[in-house]
Amino acid sequence: MGHVSIATLNRPQVLNALDSILRADLLSWLGTCANDDEIRVLVITGAGRGFCSGADVSTEAIGTDVATQADLLDDLEGAGSRALAFDAVDKPIVAAINGVAAGSGMSLALSCDLRVGDAKARFRTAFSERALSPDSAMSYHLPRILGYSRAADLIMTSRDVNAEEAYRLGLLDRLTDERSALDEALDVAARIASLPPIAIRASKRVLKRNATAAIYDALANETMALDRAKRAEADRAEAVASFRERRPGVYLGR
């Protein structure tokens, strides 16, 4: 699909639980997309009937996941570093939630900029019932999306959240009844990809930077982002021309 890259978590027999190979593949995909100017939007979904059920505890329990030297030296112990890899991508990332998103699978969904779901979407924090506290930046993203007390509710009770409640709370940004989550997510991605890419990337950067900024710093960040967007002079000219001619713009990222 033009300018949109799709990653499908493809371990349906275990509801796409994350093992070392799948984690490495996901990080490799992120890196490729971040460095390819032809890719403007990233979409993540799951194969089969789940999005991602979290870490594959079966491989952890029997020790089949082999740690690299980089893993052993990682100050953030893997999960944190993977969350930072998502945070470092300044292109929009859309999650198509087609089933359960639990534990670090829910954290993965929260690391995306937008979450689109269908009636089968379901969320569960899961960590507390496994005698763990959240990882993979769940404790960072969830309060920012829902507010502190709602985040505390989901983390401390580890209860299921169905698609309708997820949409009402703000875990889902779009909820589709008649189409699959992936079809809806691809439409969202195509819409974003049709717009000037430098403006979109500058917008994501300033949104992220201003999430915790004081107002003066936020305004300074906006000024800097505007300056970056204006550097794409051809796209700015095309935006004006397409508006005057009442036609869709064709943007090249320059």
Q: Considering only CA atoms, which of 34, 24, 8 is closest in space to residue 88?
A: 34
Q: Please give the pLDDT value at position 65.
A: 61
For residues 179 and 209, the answer to whether their CB atoms sit within 8 Å is no
What is the spatial distance between Cα 119 and Cα 101, in angstroms, rounded to a whole number? 13
Q: What is the mean pLDDT of residues 83-88?
A: 94
Q: What is the mean pLDDT of residues 203-219?
A: 97
In the 8-state DSSP scheme, what is residue 18? B
What are the backbone angles phi and psi of residue 182, rounded to the nearest 5°? -65, -45
Q: What is the mean pLDDT of residues 153-168?
A: 98
Which residue, chain included where needed, has tokens 């030296």? 73
Q: Helix-strand-coil percent breakdown of the chain, rounded to 5?
A: 50, 15, 35
Share of the chain above pLDDT 70, in %: 94
Model-level pTM? 0.93
Alpha-carbon torsion angle 225, 230, 232, 233, nearest 10: 180
Looking at beta carbons, which pairs linking 143-150 to residues 24 or more positions away fall under 8 Å? 144/211, 145/110, 145/170, 145/171, 146/170, 146/171
Report the sign of the C-alpha dihedral through residues 104, 51, 23, 93, in that order: negative
CB atoms within 10 A of CB 195: 17
Alpha carbons within 13 angstroms on the beta-carbon side of residue 254 total: 3
Q: How confident is the model at residue 66 (pLDDT cuts 50, 70, 90)?
A: low
For residues 49 and 99, the answer to whether their CB atoms sit within 8 Å is yes
Which residue, chain included where needed, has tokens 């899961």? 126
Residue range 28-59, pLDDT digits in tens: 999 999 999 999 999 999 999 999 999 998 87
In the 8-state DSSP scheme, what is residue 65? S
